[in-house]
C-alpha cells in the first residue's frame, strides 16, 4: 500500500478480471434443517516429496455448506490412522466452534453433530474405551475425540 509498483498494478488488474468473470459463482443456500454434519478425510503420505498427509473436512448446516478446510499436515504421519485422527481432531475443533456460534444465534440441537469418516480403524478406535499401546503416538487426538463423543458433542 505504501510503495506500489508495476507488479502490484498487474496483480490488481488480474484480481479484478477474476472477480468480474466469477460473479455468477457461489454457494447455494436453501431452506433446510438446522442440523450440523461434518465429513472428514485425509490422504496418508500423499505428498510424494515430503510424505506429509493432507487433511480435509467440510461442515453442512442442513443442506448448506458453511465451513471447509483442506490443509497439509505439519508433520509426517506414521500410519493412515494417525493421519485420519489428525483430520478428525481438526474437524472436531471446528464443530465445537460452530456449535458455540450457532448457540449464540439461539439455535439449539438436542442431537450431537454427526462426524463422518471413512477409515474403519479410526472409527473402531474412537468407540473403544481401551487405549492400545500401538496407538500411543495419537493419544492426545484419541482422548480429545473420545471426550467429545462421551459429552455428546459429536
Residue 132 has pLDDT above 80, yes or no: no
* Averaged pLDDT, 6-35: 91
Strand partners for 39: 58, 116
Longest dimension (CA), the chain: 62
Instruction: Return the CATH class of domain 28-150.
Output: alpha beta
What pTM does this model have?
Answer: 0.78
Q: Quote the CA–CA distance of 59 and 64 in Å, as a whole number.
A: 8
Give the residue extent of every domain in the chain: 28-150
Average pLDDT score over the chain = 88
Residues 6+ apart with CB under 8 A from 99: 36, 109, 113, 153
Name the pairing type of β-strands 64-72 and 54-61.
antiparallel
Q: Quote the CA–CA distance of 102 and 104 in Å, as a whole number.
A: 5
Residue 135 is given by DSSP the state G
Residue 17 has pLDDT above 80, yes or no: yes
Amino acid at each position: 500500500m505504501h510503495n506500489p509498483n508495476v507488479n502490484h498494478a498487474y496483480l490488481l488488474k488480474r484480481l479484478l478480471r477474476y472477480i468480474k468473470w466469477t460473479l455468477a459463482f457461489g454457494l447455494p443456500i436453501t431452506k433446510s434443517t438446522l442440523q450440523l454434519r461434518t465429513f472428514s478425510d485425509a490422504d496418508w503420505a500423499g505428498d510424494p516429496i515430503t510424505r506429509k498427509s493432507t487433511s480435509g473436512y467440510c461442515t453442512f448446516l442442513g443442506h448448506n455448506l458453511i465451513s471447509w478446510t483442506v490443509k497439509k499436515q505439519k508433520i509426517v504421519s506414521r500410519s493412515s490412522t494417525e493421519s485420519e485422527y489428525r483430520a478428525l481432531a481438526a474437524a472436531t475443533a471446528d464443530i465445537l466452534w460452530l456449535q458455540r456460534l450457532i448457540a449464540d444465534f439461539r439455535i439449539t440441537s438436542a442431537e450431537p453433530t454427526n462426524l463422518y469418516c471413512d477409515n474403519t480403524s479410526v472409527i473402531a478406535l474412537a468407540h473403544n474405551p481401551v487405549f492400545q499401546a500401538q496407538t500411543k503416538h495419537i493419544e492426545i487426538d484419541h482422548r480429545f475425540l473420545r471426550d467429545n463423543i462421551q459429552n455428546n458433542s459429536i
